Structure 1
């Protein structure tokens, strides 16, 4: 992984808070391929690298008509933390 990317892993509740959805809704989005697949971190645990979720949000922003600068700003938010 590139050093400039956040290595923080987000659990399902954190992803939900970040995108304004419940954990139940996030599970549904995963099942319907509407959000990137999580990685398995245990026998019953999954998580997402934070930079993957930030990039996905930036892509959605671009699809909604936000400027490339605004999308890049979103991608860089997890790096600045």
Structure 2
């Protein structure tokens, strides 16, 4: 990132906590994700995904926060999980 006029580069937080792209046979279990800026967990063009026992949360005033974002994915199973996103 370029610096200008003596200012430090921006240190914005990551927009997605975990992202899987083009993956097959993904299993995500027993994790906690809190306060991701836009998306906590994203599956893009994935197949045979299993998600269980996860906890995802963000404050009630979070703008447009996705707990789990599914895009172009097939055979996705999500169970025994808690999602509480603004």
TM-score, structure 1 as length reference: 0.22
Q: Which protein, 1 or 2, shows the higher relative CO under an 8 Å CA cutoff with sep ≥ 6?
A: 1
Q: Tell which structure's C-alpha radius of gyration is larger.
A: 2
More strand by share: 2
TM-score, structure 2 as length reference: 0.21
More helix by share: 1
